[in-house]
Amino acid sequence: MSQKTGEFVISYGRRQDLKKIFPIYKKDFPAHERKDYQRLEALLAEGSYQLLLLSGRAGEDLLGYALVCKAGQALWLDYLAISSNCRGMGLGSYFFQEIPQLWKNQGMFLEVEMATSNNPAQRGLQQKRIDFYERLGAQRLALPYLFPTEKGAFPMHLYYKPNGEGHPYGILAETLTWVFDNLHKNIASGKKILRQNLQVLGEQLE
């Protein structure tokens, strides 16, 4: 199944496609943010998690990929990356804005790394990603969000790309519970970190 828009095609990837993109994925994301191959494969097999592939209309080389799922009443963008030789050409903006349309303009949550690296070059890349998502309409939530890793909680920004309806805080507890119970259920400290996130959310809503 695919969606054609202008010069590009967004298609749904399968297991064989995951094998192709996994070596690229390992280079695109830091180790603490990545899932191993077996975990990604299991999530795709469950059906709610989708691998999206961006290519040219003529079936040219891969231009980008994303991993996304429907989490309750919202989408959860787990990963998005553009091929290294295609960056700076507007493909990331196009891809990011098209993904919600595949689910009839569904609101979408995403985690974004903070610009806190001690390495100036790395910190610049982190800030560039933040600026990218904010320029495309993603809104940073005022929530000290914790991302679960094998080594414990890792602070990240949590963003929401609105669809023009409702308020993200009204569905956030349900969404986080779904994400931690499904995407992060293999993390030993996941339930504890979920409780911390929900506690902070509850305090802010009060």
pLDDT surpassing 90 at residue 47:
no
d(CA 119, CA 72): 38
Can you give the pLDDT at residue 66?
97
Residue pointed to by tokens 């986080």? 176
Can you give the pLDDT at residue 101?
92
pLDDT surpassing 60 at residue 170:
yes
Annotate 101-137 with DSSP letters as a single string: GGGTS--EEEEE--S--SSHHHHHHHHHHHHHHHHTT
pLDDT tens across 178-188, in order?
999 999 999 99
Mean pLDDT on 61-82: 94
Domains and CATH numbers, the chain: 2-205 (3.40.630.30)
Can you give the pLDDT at residue 201?
92
Can you give the pLDDT at residue 84?
76
Residue 3: pLDDT band with limits 50, 70, 90: low
Can you give the pLDDT at residue 59?
59
Q: Who has greater pLDDT, 85 or 172?
A: 172
Torsion of the alpha carbons at 72, 78, 83 and 89, rounded to the nearest 10? 60
| CB-CB contact of 79 with 66 (8 Å) | yes
Please name the helix (run of DSSP H) or strand (run of DSSP E) that holds residue 196, with its range, or none: helix 190-205
pLDDT surpassing 90 at residue 110:
yes
| CB-CB contact of 61 with 9 (8 Å) | no
pLDDT surpassing 70 at residue 5:
no
CA distances from 125 to 1, 121, 159 (A): 34, 6, 17
| CB-CB contact of 50 with 67 (8 Å) | yes
Q: Who has greater pLDDT, 2 or 140?
A: 140
Residue 166: pLDDT band with limits 50, 70, 90: low
Question: Across the chain, what does the average pLDDT equal?
Answer: 90
Q: Which of 105, 4, 98, 128 minimizes the C-alpha distance to 57?
A: 4
Mean pLDDT on 17-41: 93
Residue 94: pLDDT band with limits 50, 70, 90: very high
Residue 54: pLDDT band with limits 50, 70, 90: very high
